[in-house]
Amino acid sequence: MKYSYYPGCTLKNKAQDLDIYARRSAEALGFEMEEIPEWQCCGGVYPLGSDEIATKLASVRALNYAKEQGQDLITLCSACHHVLKRVNDDMKNVQDISDRANNYMALEEPYRGETKVLHFLEVIRDVIGFDELAKKVVNPLTDKKIGAYYGCLTLRPGRILEFDDPENPKIMEDFIRALGATPVIYSMRNECCGGYASLKDPEFTKSRTSQIFEDSTGFGAECLITACPLCMYNLNKSDADTKVPVYYFTELLAEALGVKEEA
């Protein structure tokens, strides 16, 4: 299995662990991530203005490239996944945006949202299967109590992202179980960490992350996992009294599959 792969900017600098461990784990699981050549930043946030065509074009280029290769498009970063899925929905269902973007790009064949966008976790769930993942685990994370921190970008808007139930998700908990660990369910797991407010109001963000740590550790979490570089940044900046280690989910995956040292 081969997928077009959109890494996004952060995975080339601050979030290299998210990228590197994913590549090694993909090999162990039997699929290939073929990085898109000359990809551009997705924009970091989805442009809400319907007239903001220019800020959607980088995503359209990546989506159209995958279409031309006849491949699904896989990504890891929560923000990139969010932007790509929403722009893809625009190109498929919003005629004005689709027409204007295609007119601007002058593609040989108009792009109309044909590409399927998948998060790495969706490939594990829907293509590999959690039962098969469990069979490939060589270093089960037995006795580890892990809290999944979804944040907001992977889950909402649920109708477009279709990643999981935005109010009661379970994909990351099923992932944790497949690695041999125990998932910790807590109420703040799908709440915002403070997001981009960290630049304008860092005290607000610290308050949010403190609540996340307090809630998760109160239910017994010994560490947290995330797929979002911004969440990772804010959680690591937290000065919460109950702070526990935070990992990208791919690092624990690589550890369980026995390829962490190779990565």
Domain boundary among 88, 120, 152: 120
Residue of 166, 151, 161 lying closest to 224 (CA atoms)? 151
Q: Decide: helix, strand or coil at residue 117.
A: strand
- Domain coverage including residue 152: 129-257
Residue-wise pLDDT for 187-226, tens only, equals: 999 999 999 888 889 999 999 999 999 999 999 999 999 9
When pLDDT is cut at 50, 70 and 90, the band that residue 115 belongs to is: very high
Pair 149, 213: CB distance under 8 Å: no
What does the alpha-carbon distance between residue 169 and residue 192 come to, in Å, rounded to a whole number?
Answer: 14
Task: With respect to residue 176, please indicate whether it lies within any of the assigned structural domains.
Answer: yes
Do both 165 and 228 map to the same domain?
A: yes
Question: By percentage, how much of the chain surpasses pLDDT 90?
Answer: 92
C-alpha distances in angstroms, 21 versus 84, 124, 254? 22, 14, 6
Identify whether the C-beta of residue 122 lies closer than 8 Å to the C-beta of residue 72.
Answer: no
Q: Say if residue 134 is in the same domain as residue 253.
A: yes
The residue among 100, 120, 140 that closes a domain is 120
Residue 149 resides in a domain: yes
18-22 own/partner pairs: CB under 8 Å, 24+ apart: 18/76, 18/77, 18/227, 18/229, 18/248, 18/250, 19/76, 19/250, 20/263, 21/248, 21/250, 21/251, 21/253, 21/254, 21/260, 21/263, 22/76, 22/120, 22/250, 22/253
- Whether residues 133 and 253 share a domain: the answer is yes
**Contact call for residues 113 and 92 (beta carbons, < 8 A):** yes
> Is residue 249 a contact partner of residue 225, using CB atoms and an 8 Å limit?
yes
Average pLDDT over residues 238-258: 97
Strands (E) located in the chain = 2-6, 32-35, 73-75, 117-119, 145-148, 182-184, 223-226, 246-248
Residue 170 has pLDDT above 80, yes or no: yes
Residues with Cβ < 8 Å from 193, sequence gap 6 or more? 149, 151, 205, 208, 209, 212, 228, 230, 231, 234, 235
pLDDT, one tens digit per residue, over 27-60 is 999 999 999 999 999 999 999 888 889 999 999 9
Please report the pLDDT score of residue 198 as a whole number.
86
List the CATH number of the domain containing 78. 1.20.1050.140
Q: Could you tell me if 172 and 217 lie in one domain?
A: yes
Model confidence at 176, pLDDT cuts 50, 70, 90, reads: very high
Residues 180 and 98 in one domain: no
Residues 9 and 72 in one domain: yes
Together in a domain, 109 and 58:
yes
Q: What are the backbone dihedrals phi and psi of residue 248, each rounded to the nearest 5 degrees, phi first?
A: -70, 140
CATH number, position 233 = 3.40.50.1860
Do 116 and 136 belong to one domain? Answer: no
Indicate if 107 and 137 belong to the same structural domain.
no
Asked whether residue 263 is assigned to any structural domain, the reply reads no
Percent of the chain having pLDDT more than 70?
100
Last residue of a domain, one of 75, 92, 120: 120
- Give domain status of residue 181, yes or no: yes
Pair 158, 253 in one domain: yes
Q: What are phi and psi of 113, to 5 degrees?
A: 80, 25
Average pLDDT over residues 169-190: 98
Give the chain's mean pLDDT.
Answer: 96
**Predicted pLDDT at 245:** 98
Q: Mean pLDDT, to the nearest integer, of 234-261?
A: 97
**DSSP classification of residue 149:** -
96 and 175, same domain (yes or no): no
pLDDT band at 263 (very low <50, low <70, confident <90, very high): low
Q: For 137-153, what is the mean pLDDT?
A: 97
Q: Is residue 262 part of a domain?
A: no
Instruction: Note whether 125 and 174 are within 8 A (CB).
Output: yes
Supply the pLDDT for residue 258.
Answer: 98
- Position 249 in a domain: yes
* Residue range 64-113, pLDDT digits in tens: 999 999 999 999 999 999 999 999 999 999 999 999 999 999 899 999 99
Q: What is the pLDDT of residue 48?
A: 84
Mean pLDDT of 132-155: 97
| pLDDT for position 49 | 84
pLDDT of residue 42: 95
Based on the fold, state whether residues 84 and 155 are members of the same structural domain.
no
Total domains in the fold of the chain: 2
